[in-house]
């Protein structure tokens, strides 16, 4: 099975490309220089040339705050880019995995969001990703939409790396306590995607490490696992305003994983512990 990964220079895409693929699977990756998803003909040319059995579409505009002031840039990548990739994939009859986000929900729930709960994004970023979902559903006959949350890993910028950097610069930090979600280790998500792509269980999926916490609890766990003595104070979201609002609650239910008998992603703290060992 040949897998083509878009956005291979990003956090998840790079993890996929560097992952030791299972037997009988080949993974090829393209960053933005090798595959411009905003150019339909370029997408067609690259995908026709390589003829993959499946495309894992990791390329995305993820600057949540910046998207508020440049919506066209967010939609160009997250919606029109997804359309271009989807058209090219459908033309060769391949499977398509679109990576989406917890931001498609409004964050007002009090229980984990199921795959088919009503979406109601509150930010430009969330709306652009939902537009991508809708385009993929309308254009592809063999698609997986995989929503995830709070992704971190070895590559790119993320919360864990930021906390570790700040711990070396400050002895006291303030982190929000009223945003709840599930941290997701990019390596675990990458492994799940390679398991999923071998199936024909098309549709919408939620994939994140098991369990949930606040950003404040996540930060505390990072420092506890590393044995760092950093004073952490908590604050509310209103005390730390951002251009784009963050979901107050974005825990994802993993119903599709349970119902299809796939292996659930491990508890978030166990995954975090493994990741931090990799940084030593």
Annotated catalytic sites, by residue? 125
CB atoms < 10 A from the CB of 210, how many?
Answer: 17
Nearest 5 degrees, angle CA 205-CA 103-CA 36?
80
Asked if residues 155 and 14 have their Cβ atoms less than 8 Å apart, the reply is yes
Instruction: Round to whole Å and give the CA distance between 91 and 11.
Output: 28
Instruction: Round to whole Å and give the CA distance between 154 and 279.
Output: 8
Instruction: Round to whole Å and give the CA distance between 92 and 142.
Output: 11
Structure tokens at 149: 């949350």
Q: What is the DSSP string of 42-109?
A: HHHHHHHHH--SEEEE------HHHHTT-HHHHHIIIIIIHHHHHHHHHHHT-EEEEEEEGGGS-S--
Coil/strand/helix, residue 7:
coil
* Residue length of the chain: 280
Pick the closest to residue 103 from 195, 160, 20, 179 (CA basis).
179
Pick the closest to residue 65 from 242, 215, 249 (CA basis).
242
């Amino acid at each position: 099975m040949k897998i083509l990964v878009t956005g291979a220079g990003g956090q998840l895409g790079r993890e996929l490309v560097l992952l030791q693929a299972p037997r009988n699977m080949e993974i090829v990756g393209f960053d933005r220089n090798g595959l411009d998803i905003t150019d339909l003909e370029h997408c067609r040319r690259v995908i026709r040339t390589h003829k993959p059995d499946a495309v894992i579409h990791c390329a995305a505009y993820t600057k949540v705050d910046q998207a508020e002031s440049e919506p066209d840039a967010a939609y160009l990548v997250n919606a029109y880019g997804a359309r271009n990739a989807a058209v090219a994939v459908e033309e060769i009859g391949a499977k398509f995995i679109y990576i989406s986000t917890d931001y498609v929900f409004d964050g007002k729930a009090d229980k984990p969001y199921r795959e088919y709960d009503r979406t109601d994004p509150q930010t430009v970023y969330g709306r652009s990703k939902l537009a991508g979902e809708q385009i993929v559903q309308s254009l592809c006959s063999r698609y997986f939409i995989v929503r995830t949350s709070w992704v971190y890993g070895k590559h790119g910028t993320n919360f864990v790396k930021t906390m570790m950097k700040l711990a070396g610069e400050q002895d006291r930090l303030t982190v929000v306590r009223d945003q709840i979600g599930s941290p997701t280790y990019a390596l675990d998500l990458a492994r799940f995607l390679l398991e999923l792509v071998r199936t024909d269980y098309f549709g919408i999926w939620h994939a994140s490490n098991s369990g949930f916490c606040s950003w404040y609890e996540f930060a505390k766990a990072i420092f506890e696992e590393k044995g760092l003595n950093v004073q952490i104070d908590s604050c509310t979201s209103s005390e730390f305003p951002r251009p784009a609002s963050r979901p107050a609650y974005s825990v994802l239910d993993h119903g599709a994983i349970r119902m299809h008998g796939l292996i659930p992603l491990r508890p978030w703290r166990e995954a975090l512990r493994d990741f931090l060992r990799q940084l030593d």
